[in-house]
Amino acid sequence: MALAKEIMGISVVEKSSLISSSKVFLNPNFYQKENQLCVDRQFQGRRSLRTRRLLRQSPMAAISENLIKVVPEKAVKFKVRAVVTVRNKNKEDLKETIVKHLDAFTDKFGRNVALELISTDIDPNTKGPKKSNQAVLKDWSKKSNLKTERVNYTAEFVVDSNFGTPGAITVTNKHQQEFFLESITIEGFACGPVHFPCNSWVQSKKDHPGKRIFFSNQPYLPNETPAGLKLLRERELRDLRGDGTGARKLSDRVYDYDIYNDLGNPDKGIDLARPKLGGSNNVPYPRRCRTGRAPTDTDMSAESRVEKPKPLYVPRDEQFEESKMNAFRTGRLKAVLHNLIPSLMASISTNNHDFKGFSDIDNLYSKGLLLKLGLQDEMLKKLPLPKVVSSIQEGDLLKYDTPKILSKDRFAWLRDDEFARQAIAGVNPVNIERLQAFPPVSKLDPEIYGTQESALKEEHILGHLNGMTVQEALDANRLYIVDYHDVYLPFLDRINALDGRKAYATRTMFFLSDLGTLKPVAIELSLPQTGPSSRSKRVVTPPVDATGNWMWQLAKAHVCSNDAGVHQLVNHWLRTHACLEPFILAAHRQLSAMHPIYKLLDPHMRYTLEINALARQSLISADGVIEACFTPGRYCMEMSAAAYKNFWRFDLEGLPADLIRRGMAVPDPTQPHGLKLLIEDYPYAADGLMIWAAVEGWVRSYVNHYYPDSARVCNDRELQAWYAESINVGHADLRNEEWWPTLATPEDLISILTTLIWLASAQHASLNFGQYPYGGYVPNRPPLMRRLIPDENDPEYAVFHADPQKYFFSALPSLLQATKFMAVVDTLSTHSPDEEYLGDRHQQSTWTGDAEIVEAFYDFSSEIRRIEKEIDERNADTTLRNRCGAGVLPYELLAPSSGPGVTCRGVPNSVSI
């Protein structure tokens, strides 16, 4: 019984005595009818034996059995109560406090919060849905000063015994200030409590005159919508779509599309102009959330900028909640401080522009920036608010945390085996491929880029293959490659013309040892060909002398710089953040909140629009952090768009399909996940396949419950509209590609939803939360390089030969670039206190009114916990050398849970940072 109460949320109200009118006991037929109606709707579909047992134990049935036997001729009235949970702000500014007190005062005189219940049934007299009387929240003025996180208010309704089941509730806020409505529970109906998970800001009537509509947690497919809710369902979706015109206010809840035409700021100069992304075949891109701002003065096709700290529009319910915003603001504060101090350093002396040695980098973690500078008291006095700066210094905000890559072995980053290990167990483990032909072949158009034959020869690698020939190694699946040649080469002329930016298009070859570990055997460095006899390619191999060692370290640094750019611009930003945004916009526009697929996707859409807007404002914008800190500079987003055009395919974004595409796995029905990994100890893939299977199993149970056959999928107009709009509007530039999956069967739907949930949760986590643990030590993973590798005929060769360490540091990012990058990836790698992880969700027992689905979700949660234990066991297994060994970091980026902060683990439900 306890489990049944938990599943349906009955324990919330088991002490309630809400049926206050004695007249209600005179109508047992009403109770029997309403009980059966509620039960039928909440448990429609196939019931498990366990669910039927729960129903027999439920106190809902006991009500009708114990009631007495007089049947009146007409309906009677009885009272029901609403318990309304409002979440308070922890901190309020002065204006909010004043308005809050004013609202508490005027609430007594009718400027209150009013609610109205709406039935699932139609009133035969009005031909509209049955409605209760209007009720107001009680004791707002008395409870307004409570300092608790949540406050429960009540309201009482009087309804007829033939009212039916409440399916919606309207809320009118007559106060001056918005409030966050977490949930409403209606108590007193014979079917038990009816839950309304709201989780939404309710605006003042003066800002939004219409009533807010909230639906109960009972899911309905469109053609099963009760008559009383049909018009409300359609009206709510119309409101969310808007009319596509006008500038959006921050309080709006309108979801619409636009192209990326707001990254540049041409009004400030031609150097800050950027091409539009999306809306053309030449520069295609996914759509972003429309804000409707006016165009710039100098370019009518570019949208005007909103510069920080002013907020950029996203629909009100997509904005960060308070704890998330506080955590993000703290990170931004650190970033500002870390940018301020290096700027001072650069202005004091040009000699401080570069790191002088490894000790300079170590001091960022041990002493902090101010101490390293040796600023005296008189220098501190020249800073604004010196007392504040000093206190922050004392609180260690000016120190960087030691990155995890240094935690087990300070020199791990220098080792070739660690360089290789990070290709399959680092922050970007999704670019390595099995080499299927030697030498590797470019796919670039030779008419544009010239002949792109690889400079790699058999003699370069033959001595590193454990006695195998190249063909034998290929046949034995022992050769692997990380190939950035075609990604970078079209942009290299422009990149290398930038001040302080130098890059190659790299290829790195690895050999799989008998122990299951990789070792790098050759690095190819390519530049655009300037003439028929120009030397545009060179190959660097593992060193045999001191000079070769420094050449090799520089070559690996250039590979890591290539890798950092592709990781950030393609795998992280494009494939998780940007490509998911159209699916999220379409879900809000086309799927009702009562649609079961919306309920499934809801936790996986949280915060994504907000973090993407913040990225457009500060990270991927002209002269933003990404351009400042990564090698491609102002061409970063054009590279991202090129990858979208040439590489991205939704049908290959799921983990199994991606592993097969890269040749890292082959189909094998005898294996647990239907795949055989060709590198058995591939931590990202091995852990990822467990999570993929768990998500797919959960989605399969969910979809099969609501869609037992293809007809239901094809006839669901909201579902079909969501998917069609995601493609035809959200990904309009690629809408005609033949690889888009169809949506005609339950299997199609399972595949599409599993891919989306995988991308939003595990894929994003694996690419995001290791950024500071691995990249916070810049020599391990430099985001940009400033010098090429000199050969003996270059003037710089003498400088390199005389002091190779000094040359190495002059090639790495400057102190300003490095500390800015470190501050940002520190923020991006941080879990907020309100993070919701895979297998969890807020209001676990009441997010849906379908007990069978709640039971299936608990099974999914249990499986995620089991996977976490198995990952811990794998990380302690000494036979798995890519995740366990002396100085080897465990692979925890796909371990599902985490505490707050930078932990290098944790899989949130959504792209939330």
Among the listed residues 551, 530, 856, 593, the one whose alpha carbon sits nearest the alpha carbon of residue 704: 856
What SS3 class is residue 834?
coil
Question: One of 27, 768, 780, 875 is an active-site residue; which one?
Answer: 768
Q: What is the C-alpha to C-alpha distance for residues 53 and 855, in angstroms, rounded to an integer? A: 13
Question: Does the annotation mark 750 as catalytic?
Answer: no
What SS3 class is residue 849?
coil
Q: What is the C-alpha to C-alpha distance for residues 36 and 903, in angstroms, rounded to an integer? A: 50
Among the listed residues 649, 585, 683, the one whose alpha carbon sits nearest the alpha carbon of residue 290: 585
Q: What is the C-alpha to C-alpha distance for residues 269 and 250, in angstroms, rounded to an integer? A: 28
Is the preceding peptide bond at 309 cis, omega within 30 degrees of 0? yes
Question: Does the annotation mark 913 as catalytic?
Answer: yes
Alpha carbon distance, N-terminus to C-terminus of the chain = 40
State the residue for tokens 């109606």. 37
Give yes or no for a contact between 314 and 249, defined as CB atoms under 8 angstroms apart. Answer: no
Q: What is the C-alpha to C-alpha distance for residues 183 and 175, in angstroms, rounded to an integer? A: 19
| Residue 506 structure tokens | 């790299």
Q: What is the C-alpha to C-alpha distance for residues 633 and 630, in angstroms, rounded to an integer? A: 6
| H or E element at residue 519 | strand 518-526
Question: One of 195, 208, 558, 572 is an active-site residue; which one?
Answer: 572
Question: Does the annotation mark 208 as catalytic?
Answer: no
Three-state secondary structure of 168-208: EEEEEECCCCCEEEEEEEEECCCCCCEEEEEEEEECCCCCC
Q: Which residues of 612-644 are buried (b: 16+ CB within 10 A; e: fewer)?
A: bbbbbbbbbbbebbbbbbbbbbbbbbbbbbbbb
Among the listed residues 731, 570, 624, 584, the one whose alpha carbon sits nearest the alpha carbon of residue 263: 624
- Beta bridge partners, 505, equal 526
| Residue 236 structure tokens | 């709510």
- Strands across the sheet with 150-160, in order? 150-160, 77-87, 179-187, 194-202
Residue 52: phi and psi, rounded to 5, are -65, -35
Question: One of 432, 584, 757, 913 is an active-site residue; which one?
Answer: 913
Question: Does the annotation mark 577 as catalytic?
Answer: yes
Question: One of 208, 595, 764, 831 is an active-site residue; which one?
Answer: 764
| Residue 51 structure tokens | 């669910």
Give yes or no for a contact between 286 and 731, defined as CB atoms under 8 angstroms apart. Answer: yes
| H or E element at residue 94 | helix 94-106
Is the preceding peptide bond at 384 cis, omega within 30 degrees of 0? no
Question: At CB < 8 A and 24+ separation, what contacts does 134-142 make?
Answer: 135/82, 136/112, 137/84, 137/112, 137/113, 140/103, 140/104, 140/107, 140/112, 140/113, 141/104, 141/105, 141/107, 141/108
Contacts of 398 (CB under 8 A, 6+ apart): 337, 338, 341, 368, 369, 370, 392
Question: Does the annotation mark 620 as catalytic?
Answer: no
- Beta bridge partners, 514, equal none
Question: One of 175, 577, 595, 604 is an active-site residue; which one?
Answer: 577
Give yes or no for a contact between 232 and 129, defined as CB atoms under 8 angstroms apart. Answer: yes
What SS3 class is residue 490?
helix
State the residue for tokens 């996940």. 673
Active site residues: 572, 577, 764, 768, 913
